A and B are shown apart, each in its own frame.
Chain A
Amino acid sequence: MSVQNLVEVQNLKKYFPVSTSFIEGLLSRERLFVRAVDDISFTIRKGEVMGLCGESGCGKTTTGRLIMRLLDATEGSITFEDEDITELSGGRLRRFRPNMQMVFQDPHASLNPRMTVAENIGHSLTVQHFGTRQERQERINEVMESVALTPVHDISRRYPHLLSGGQKQRVVLARALAVNPKLVVADEPIAMADVSVRALILELMLKLKEEYNLTYLFVTHDLATAKYVCDRVAIMYLGVIVEIGTINEVFENPKHPYTQALLSAVPVPDPAARRQHAIPRGEIPSAVNPPSGCRFHTRCPIADEQCSRIVPDMVDISPTHRAACRLIR
């Protein structure tokens, strides 16, 4: 694996305004914002699977969408292969888009029900003015073979509702691959799939990564899956990254109390490994008015009075492992 960075995210922020009524606007109350992503920086290296994990509402999906340029950042920058893409728009953004593709959680909702499988996969090729009609058809057949949607001539004429859940997610993967992307952002790609189909999609994604030289940003709440597919992982909490490192570093030697809590709460499919100890109480606070200081201090088992005042800096634990907690020794 080369250590070259494919994507660099710097001080990225995304604030969504909370809609207020007309009268409140007249009273000119202070505008409120959901701080979905609040100053995060990380890199995605070429050829790796980078995981983005956390509970619902932590900002992991928003981060994925910001990188995909499906949302405009409030502040900060996103660099893709040394090109700043934060401000790209119009035709330049469209010409850039084939570099990055997205796989969403719900394959059924991601496919146009009135297009056949081949039309769904080929649509992005048409939009991107890829080759001749003949070349497009060949490309469609090629990616369908790659994701094992065979026999191609049969399945390519079907409509999405005639496919099983696993097949639909493979169509979505094929569509993402058709334009030859460098980065695929996968947002909970197996959350909707049946248990027996999940492993199939994961294994297929790993196979395609080698075949097409892909880099993945894998967004998930499921830490066990993250451990299986990811090379590195960033743990998010209330819009900030609290810990980042290689899978082994973060999962075997978690430093942030939140990561520790998260890992110990994961139910293990083995009754012999039943959880013995308690985990911190409480639920994720609102991102409109996040706690002062360290955002985790309200739930943290080891927080002291300083934690509510001082915003913790990222501490280097190893050259690749960092965590944002004052109390790390």
Chain B
Amino acid sequence: MNDPILSLQELSIHYPTFDGTVKAVDRATLDLPTGKVVGLVGESGCGKSTLGLSILRLVRPPGGIAGGKIVFEGEDLVKKKESDMRAIRGSRIAMVFQDPMTSLNPLVRLDRHFLETIASHGNGMSKDQAMERIETLVERLGISHSRLHEFPHQLSGGMRQRIMIGLGLILHPRLIIADEPTNSLDVIVEAHFLDLLNDLKEEYNLTILLITHNMGIVAELADRVAVMYAGTIVEEGDVFDLFKNPLHPYTQGLLASIPNIKLDQSSLYTMSGSPPNLIDPPAGCSFHPRCPRAMDICRQKEPRGITENGRRVECFLYGEGAA
């Protein structure tokens, strides 16, 4: 495995509330190998979006980074000044959000969206140069450059989402964080978008962090998968290995509970309970109240740093402590 472009080390994000501190992300460790697509999956509220935002230091106050490191190309982003972060956002790390309708300004024509992005990073490009670059990129995304004079509402949902990825790519970033990028799209348009993302990855030598709750999208596009539960990454590995042989009981349950169009399933696995409250998560392993294989140790001790055959899996069923 080549050097990771981004490496999260023991990263914690906390939100203070009147009821107590919400540990949205709790000592998460994750490497994004250069040129790979890493799928970050989990249910709503597991902290996956917060984790994505924190890489760009965009977590809104009062929430904030409570500890850990975000090492991007050798530099710790946690220690960066806000002005330095601004230079990184967009030009070296870009973000694609899930809802293009609320992420694009409805009163601004599409070309201005691009020009503003370029101008805000002051890399001394003339307007003609910038327009040329924008037109080339937009055509590459399958949208006629004549439509750049239109407003966001004049485009279809799929086109808006392609404009969003275009805005992300215009400054040639190294890393793209895509948070549920296909949530608002229909299946056929979604499939096109995933194909496009895959092609762009090769052309622009991108690394992509793909945040989603949809296991199907991860299976389609990702090289590696990280499964998140209650603020922690509970399992992480190669996409083929992990889907073929999930180790963590949560991953196993998740995969067994999804309807698969290619299979004839006589029943689906039903997981008991619901995700925990992150203010006061269960002691020990946060999954133990829902786990069919919970042991005594799971209620007392937190599983950390456990690996099985080279795959990280935070569960006492594996590693040295295995019963």
Q: Per-position contact with A for B247-264: 1 when CB-CB < 8 Å, else 0?
A: 000000111011111100
Which of B262, B269, B275, B290 has the most chain A CB atoms inside 10 A of its CB?
A: B262
Residue B99 at the A interface, CB < 8 A? no
Residue B265 at the A interface, CB < 8 A? yes
Q: Is the CB of B260 within 8 A of A269?
A: yes
CB proximity of A296 to chain B, nearest CB, Å: 11
A271 to B260, CA, bound (A): 12
Task: List CB contacts (< 8 Å) of A188-207 with chain B.
Answer: 194-200, 202-203
Which of A228, A261, A262 has the most chain B CB atoms inside 10 A of its CB?
A: A228
Q: Is the CB of B43 within 8 A of A280?
A: no
Known contacts A221-B186, A265-B191; A164 and B215 CB within 8 A of each other: no
Known contacts A267-B194, A268-B262, A269-B255; A164 and B274 CB within 8 A of each other: yes
Known contacts A262-B187, A275-B191; A283 and B158 CB within 8 A of each other: yes
**Interfacial chain B residues near A82, Cβ < 8 Å:** none
Taking CB as reference atom, which chain B residue is nearest A54? B186
Q: How many residues of A contact B (CB 8 A)?
A: 43
Residue A312 at the B interface, CB < 8 A? no
Q: Is the CB of A225 within 8 A of B259?
A: yes
Residue B136 at the A interface, CB < 8 A? no
Q: Is the CB of B187 within 8 A of A55?
A: yes
Main secondary structure of the interface of B (DSSP, over half): helix
**Interfacial chain A residues near B258, Cβ < 8 Å:** 195, 198-199, 224, 269
Q: Is the CB of A251 within 8 A of B261?
A: yes
Q: Is the CB of A198 within 8 A of B157?
A: no
CB proximity of B83 to chain A, nearest CB, Å: 39
Contact residue among B43, B187, B218 (Cβ-Cβ distance under 8 Å from A265): B187
**Interfacial chain B residues near A273, Cβ < 8 Å:** 219, 262
Q: Per-position contact with A for B169-192: 1 when CB-CB < 8 Å, else 0?
A: 000000000000000001111111
Contact residue among A197, A269, A279 (Cβ-Cβ distance under 8 Å from B219): A269
Known contacts A265-B190, A275-B220; A270 and B262 CB within 8 A of each other: yes
Residue A290 at the B interface, CB < 8 A? no
Q: Is the CB of A271 within 8 A of B243?
A: yes
Q: Is the CB of B243 within 8 A of A269?
A: yes
Residue B271 at the A interface, CB < 8 A? yes
Task: List CB contacts (< 8 Å) of B186-225 with chain A.
Answer: 186-192, 194-195, 213-220, 222
Q: Is the CB of B157 within 8 A of A283?
A: yes
**Interfacial chain B residues near A181, Cβ < 8 Å:** none
A273 to B222, CA, bound (A): 13
Q: Per-position contact with B for A144-163: 1 when CB-CB < 8 Å, else 0?
A: 00000000000000000000
Residue B87 at the A interface, CB < 8 A? no
Q: Is the CB of A196 within 8 A of B244?
A: no
A279 to B217, CA, bound (A): 16
Q: Is the CB of B274 within 8 A of A224?
A: no
Known contacts A196-B43, A199-B269, A275-B191; A268 and B239 CB within 8 A of each other: no
Taking CB as reference atom, which chain B residue is nearest A285? B156
Q: Is the CB of B271 within 8 A of A283?
A: no
The 5 A-B pairs of least Cβ separation, nearest first, read: A267-B216, A199-B257, A265-B191, A55-B186, A199-B268
Please report B residues at the A interface, Cβ cutoff 8 Å: 43-44, 156-159, 186-192, 194-195, 213-220, 222, 239-240, 243-244, 253-255, 257-262, 265, 267-271, 274-275, 290
Please report A residues at the B interface, Cβ cutoff 8 Å: 55-56, 164-166, 194-200, 202-203, 221-225, 227-228, 251, 261-275, 278-281, 283-284
